[in-house]
Structure 1
Amino acid sequence: MKNFIETLKNVWKIEELKNRILVTLGLLLVYRFGAHVTLPGIDASQLHSLAGQTEKGLGSILDMFTGGAFSKASVFALGIMPYISASIVVQLMGIAIPYLQKLQKDGESGRKKLNQITRWLTILITLLQGPGYIYNLYKTIPQSAFLLGADSPWFLFSSVLILTTGTIFAMWLGEKITDKGIGNGISLLIMVGILARLPQALFQEFQSKVTDNQGGPMLLVFEIIVWLLVIIACVLLVMAIRKIPVQYARRTTTGDFEQDALGGNRQWIPLKLNAAGVMPIIFAQAIMFIPPFLANLSKSDTSQSIAAVFSNMFGFWYNFVFAMLIIIFTFFYTAITVPTNKMADDLKRSGGFIPGVKPGIDTADFLDHVMSLLTFPGALFLALIAIFPSLIIGLGVQQSWAMFYGGTSLIIMVGVVIDTIQQVNSYLLNQHYDGLMKSGKNRKAVA
């Protein structure tokens, strides 16, 4: 505990890190404030039926991703999900479209152009989703809740415009947090929305088990212990690393490389069990919203049955498809984020090699093979944790509390927290180095 307090003091002593943390907290506060601002022209006191729609099924996930903004008919009701959907589309299109493939290889300039394409696509998706959300309001809340009248074209136009602006502003907040704050801004916005529901979910479970006497306090304690064990499992999944030994040969006077008598200088390549992080969960969850949306466009019995199946997030087929998508996206995201060919080329140029493997193409193939072996169990474990809430709910756990036993919520929280802590640690380590350099400069100035 003493070391933890000392670390917090050290964090506060670093001016740049302190400013970044304050900027992050400030922008997150703005996002949470906006989640409670209701769309103009809607009576906020008559949204009980909309809140009831988001207590179960996919509506609860939408509300969770937006931090409750969806059920409050907020200006941030669509949240950051259109941006996530746009990112998925751009990355998937990057496989088939040569222009996007070229941008992915162009470094920083290509990344900026891809970000610009993603932003424009986000606006397009929001303009398509906005009318759907307003149409859902027409069907869900009473007509008296529309102060301008439900049939007012001005209300439809202004609300879609405000929802689009809200998503763009949320996207801007996330990018500013990434640039000026600490951690990944988009992931932090999602995590804060999820954490906003945690106290209420825990209170409802406490009320169910203790106040309503549906198992008693001991069962609640057991549930919390299981929850902590699942958190530990998520941490192990995110942190697990396989190290590949790399040997470096020394350069001779002729410019060639040769291995010295002691076997060269050995280092390691760290390859993560889950190199994709939380992105497969987010991508798969975004895709799972599509089948019920498309099925509801038709009134046929087949379409309605499909909509019912994919709206039941605790059903077998929903979780089976969800798990398959997570596994597929884990392999896909790992393939585009771990450049094994570039790693092999860098090793060859620097005189490094993996013992028993030829430099160049053979090294790239070896790294691909190792990444495949690591990714497969990592993807299975990630999928298992993702569908764990559907397993735990069979033991009598309330749905709102079961959502935190893995699934989208817990994986995102653990992944984002670990990523943010690692960035803070890097600042602490850099400050130790900068402090020595600063002392040296001071000594030189005094001399």
Structure 2
Amino acid sequence: MKINKIKNRFYFLIFSIIILRIGSYIPIPTININNFNEIINYNNNNNIIKLLNIFYGDYILHASIFSLGLIPYIMSSIFIQTLNLLNKKIFSNKIDNVNNNFIINQYIKYTTLILSIIQSTIITHHLLNSNNKNQLIIYENIFITYLITVISLVTSTIFLVWLSKNITKYGFGNGVSFIICINILSKLFYYLIDIINKIKLGNIKLLNIFIINIVIFFIIFFIILIENGYKNIIVNFISIKNYKFKKNIYLPFKINMSGIIPAIVSYNILFIIKIIFNWYIKNNNYNNFVYNNIYLQLYQIIYIFFYIFVIFISCFIYNNILFNNMEISKYFKKSDIIIPGIMPGLKTKIFIYKIIKKITFINFLYISIICLIPEFINYFIEFPYYFNGISFLIVIVTIMECIKQIKTILLCNKYKYKKIF
């Protein structure tokens, strides 16, 4: 039965991949796809388009109805959960505390809908005010263009959210990370062909290829090492009848508790900053080349520090969302669980808070190293733009989650259950 369960999950994943790939080739109804492809190919060296290609795969290149991706859902989830962390009375249910998670999920869905409408409206406005408006837009009526484009993008985003939840339920791993992973891997073949062609033309040195391979091996090894790392805390269960300690049990705290969420959030925030910076440079003509060069160097320094700052804030917020030291200490006290050498109550709460704080700092260093090493390598060595730390992190973590879930199902297959009735 368990083997059939794994097969069914694999079939559902294959079906989901087919749906995602078909959807990536369905264009927005209001856009002339032939003219759009010509404009994209002409601007293929644009840094903004390159960044979009890394994260969204073929969605942007084909003006797909999936162009918004799952970003509205991810940002909504972070926003609502952060509000709940700051003030739990906002989403609390006084009648039934069990339904609090359901209420939070409902607010996340509503916020996702609002963000999708806002983003799709901005995209439509940008298309209507672009220099290539007559070539891109099919309909002359502005209202019809807005209506069809917004409805297409919003409904597609809602469909992706629904598909991600079903992948989590009926497939392997996390549905959101799986969809993003498929988007990244969809361009892998083209990236390899591009690298081979550049090596043949002599645009990339073999020494640079050797250095990049060493860095890739280090990144993969480092990700696997940290993702399998846990901080185990010894806890004891106290028997109320005879006041004796039972067998020690370890409470595991995963080193990378926040997963890929901080990397995704920081990537999108910095992507918005890059758009603003490019717009500012474009609309301000610098006659002094020296001043312009100094300004760009200063921007790169500020960019790195802000990148680190955003990753730290994302790790801190998401780790506190996942692990609430107050609730854990209350659960320990209610279930007669103690940490050896730590008094129950306030001291247990402080001890758990210190553990989470240390893990958050290690998590922050881990994600920062993975994200920034390729940035430094690309700065000193000329290499294609798709050598990106976030892509490695998302792909490897997603594959590891799928493998762990498969192993869990296979392990359960070894046990036989007897019928009681």
Q: Runs ≥4 in structure 1, deviation > 4 angstroms?
A: 51-56, 103-108, 292-302, 308-312
RMSD: 3.2
Give unpaired runs (5+ residues) of structure 1: 1-11, 303-307
Q: Distance in 2 between matches of 1:155 and 1:75?
A: 14
Q: Distance in 2 between matches of 1:74 and 1:351?
A: 55
Q: Distance in 1 between matches of 2:327 and 2:45?
A: 47
> CA 1:63–1:52 in structure 2 vs 1: closer, same or farther (change >3 Å)?
farther
Task: Decide whether the 8 Å contact of 1:50 with 1:72 is kept in 2.
Answer: no
Deviations 1:398-435, CA, capped at 9 Å, x for gaps: 333322xx1x21111122222222222221222222xx
Q: State how 1:252-401 maps to structure 2 within 5 Å.
A: 252-253=241-242, 257-259=243-245, 264-291=246-273, 315-401=300-386
Corresponding position: 1:119 with 2:109: yes
Q: Which residue of 401, 406, 410 corresponds with 1:419?
A: 401
1:125 positional shift: 1.1
One-letter amino acid matched to 1:429: L
> CA 1:197–1:298 in structure 2 vs 1: closer, same or farther (change >3 Å)?
closer
Task: Decide whether the 8 Å contact of 2:208 with 2:381 is kept in 1.
Answer: no
Matched residue, 1:223: 212
One-letter amino acid matched to 2:102: K
One-letter amino acid matched to 1:192: I
Task: Decide whether the 8 Å contact of 2:332 with 2:338 is kept in 1.
Answer: yes
> CA 1:142–1:154 in structure 2 vs 1: closer, same or farther (change >3 Å)?
closer
1:54 positional shift: 6.1
1:103 positional shift: 5.9
* TM-score, normalised via structure 2 length: 0.86
> CA 1:185–1:289 in structure 2 vs 1: closer, same or farther (change >3 Å)?
same
Task: Decide whether the 8 Å contact of 1:191 with 1:416 is kept in 2.
Answer: yes
Question: SS in structure 2 opposite 1:90?
Answer: helix
Matched residue, 1:305: none
Question: SS in structure 1 opposite 2:108?
Answer: helix
Question: SS in structure 2 opposite 1:387?
Answer: helix
One-letter amino acid matched to 1:154: I
Corresponding position: 1:77 with 2:67: yes
Question: SS in structure 2 opposite 1:40?
Answer: coil
Question: SS in structure 1 opposite 2:59?
Answer: coil
Give unpaired runs (5+ residues) of structure 2: 286-292
1:172 positional shift: 1.4
Q: Distance in 1 between matches of 2:259 and 2:95?
A: 22
One-letter amino acid matched to 1:267: I
Q: Distance in 2 between matches of 1:418 and 1:25?
A: 18
Question: SS in structure 1 opposite 2:236?
Answer: strand
Q: Which residue of 138, 141, 144 corresponds with 1:147?
A: 138
Moved more, 62-71 or 119-128: 62-71
Q: State how 1:185-264 maps to structure 2 within 5 Å.
A: 185-212=175-202, 214-216=204-206, 219-253=208-242, 257-259=243-245, 264=246
Task: Decide whether the 8 Å contact of 2:59 with 2:65 is kept in 1.
Answer: yes
1:283 positional shift: 1.8
One-letter amino acid matched to 2:22: F
1:232 positional shift: 1.1
> CA 1:52–1:370 in structure 2 vs 1: closer, same or farther (change >3 Å)?
farther
* TM-score, normalised via structure 1 length: 0.82
Q: Which residue of 37, 49, 59 corresponds with 2:26?
A: 37
Deviations 1:91-117, CA, capped at 9 Å, x for gaps: 222244444452699765222222221
> CA 1:80–1:283 in structure 2 vs 1: closer, same or farther (change >3 Å)?
same
Matched residue, 1:7: none
Q: Distance in 2 between matches of 1:325 and 1:105?
A: 37
Matched residue, 1:20: 9
Deviations 1:317-370, CA, capped at 9 Å, x for gaps: 223212111111111111110133333333334433222111222112111112
Question: SS in structure 1 opposite 2:61?
Answer: coil
Q: Distance in 1 between matches of 2:295 and 2:21?
A: 30
Provide the aligned length of Structure 1 versus Structure 2.
410
> CA 1:336–1:144 in structure 2 vs 1: closer, same or farther (change >3 Å)?
closer
Question: SS in structure 2 opposite 1:265?
Answer: coil
Question: SS in structure 1 opposite 2:60?
Answer: coil
Question: SS in structure 1 opposite 2:73?
Answer: helix
> CA 1:231–1:100 in structure 2 vs 1: closer, same or farther (change >3 Å)?
farther
One-letter amino acid matched to 2:12: V
Q: Distance in 1 between matches of 2:165 and 2:404?
A: 19
